[in-house]
Amino acid sequence: FEGCNKAYSRLENLKTHLRSHTGEKPYVCEHEGCNKAFSNASDRAKHQNRTHSNEKPYVCKIPGCTKRYTDPSSLRKHVKTVHGPDAHVTKKHRGDVGPGRALPTPGAHPEMK
């Protein structure tokens, strides 16, 4: 495609990238009644696991909060809107139970001590 200089060493990655130009989405969600489609199998799998399962592995770690989410972006949005802009979400650390963790910025919320 004109103006695109992307190069890939694996053919499958090139095919996936080409779909960003063509708009082709051959990977349709396998959940009954859902017609969402994706340009690659990985995005379809993420969608199916996050949208069509009851699993909510992304846990808010702010003390006293019990909220859980299916995806990290929802957890980040929750932390920012509910706990304030000074609270933040950190990446999973070895030994943690969930894939995401939210921690307050020290001193940001004195009432939470």
What one-letter code names the amino acid at 24?
Answer: E
pLDDT (mean) for 20-41: 96
Report CA Rg, the chain.
19
Handedness of CA 71, 74, 76, 79 (dihedral sign): negative
Assess whether pLDDT exceeds 80 at residue 107: no
| Residue 62 and residue 45 share a domain | no
Q: So what's the pLDDT on residue 90?
A: 64
Averaged pLDDT score across all residues of the chain:
82
Q: What is the pLDDT, as a whole number, of residue 97?
A: 41
Record the pTM.
0.58
Q: Which tokens in the block code for residue 3?
A: 């103006």
Do residue 20 and residue 42 come from a single domain?
yes
Domain count, the chain: 2
Structural domain boundaries, residue 64: 58-112
Per residue in 33-85, pLDDT tens? 999 999 999 999 999 988 898 888 899 999 999 999 988 899 999 999 999 98
Summarised one tens digit per residue, pLDDT across range 7-19 is 999 999 999 999 9
Choice between 111 and 46, residue whose per-residue pLDDT is larger = 46
Residue 16 belongs to domain with CATH number: 3.30.160.60
Residue 100 falls inside a structural domain: yes
